[in-house]
Structure 1
Amino acid sequence: MTTVSGKTKNGFTYEGDYQQASGGRIVWTATFRRNGDYAGVRHGRMFGMQDTAPAALDDLVKADIEATWTDAT
């Protein structure tokens, strides 16, 4: 498992982790906070990542986490 953290464009911080699964999938989980207070959890999957360089995975996972939190309907 690999750990990631960041801050979304709408001001929430998150800590999460991801791991590579079979078939080029990435499975991630992130916990969100606002001013230190718990705000929620999201889970996600990314597909077709088998040809992605390991150095690029962190940035792609962070972008997916951001999109899942800020673009949710």
Structure 2
Amino acid sequence: MRYQRRNLKTLLRRIRTVIKTVFGMPDYDRYLDHWYRTHAKPGEFPMSEKEYYVCALKDRYERGGVSRCC
């Protein structure tokens, strides 16, 4: 039972990630995984979830130029 619940949570997390990727939404969990694997140093901390989303929105909409498909 516990094993099935854990598998279901993993499946739902992966589905959420795919949906966010398809719609261009930032994925904070993926950011944390990347940050801890590549950037973690003693005394440094990753951005909070709110800081991450603000940064992602600024990056997406304030870079200038055309950002549409047509």
* TM band (smaller chain): 0.3 to 0.5
Q: Which has the higher helix share?
A: 2
Q: Which has the higher strand share?
A: 1
Structure showing greater radius of gyration is 2
* Greater RCO (Cα-Cα under 8 Å, separation 6 or more): 1
